[in-house]
Amino acid sequence: MDDIQRREVNEAIDAADNALFHLNNARSCLNSAGNWGLLDLFGGNLLTGLVKHGKMSNAEREIEQAKFALERFSKELRDVQGYTNIHIDDFLTFADFIFDGLIVDVWVQSKISTAKKQCDDALRQVTDIRNKLLAL
């Protein structure tokens, strides 16, 4: 592998690391929001609801950061020989929803659960590709 190819691989690995950082943060925020949502669902009060919505806002911010990081990773990956045909756009759209304070708590829990699954899928895919890049 020549220096240019090595540099492109390293840039893709760095982008993968950044994406994994934000995906892990998003997953953690979703866990926290889900836990507070369950508490709110089963007997919470005004304070519980406020904390839950704060956690959901944190999750939304991290999801947006993860999306930007995944877009960068996708771009960097296209520069690596052998990865030009791989499209990770399928999980660039993960968790594409807005939390709304007016919706039913059960529905919110369902959306959090779906977002956690999508986040886990993205984490597995990025980790797998990153490990393959490290082996180059």
Domain, as residue range, for 104: 3-135
The pLDDT score that the predictor gives to residue 93 is 56
Instruction: Give the count of domains, the chain.
Output: 1
Residue 87: the pLDDT is 59
Tell me the pLDDT tens digit for each residue of 53-75: 898 889 889 988 988 998 899 88
Torsion of CA 65, 69, 74, 79, to 10 degrees: 150
Residues in the chain predicted with pLDDT less than 50, given as ranges, are 96-103
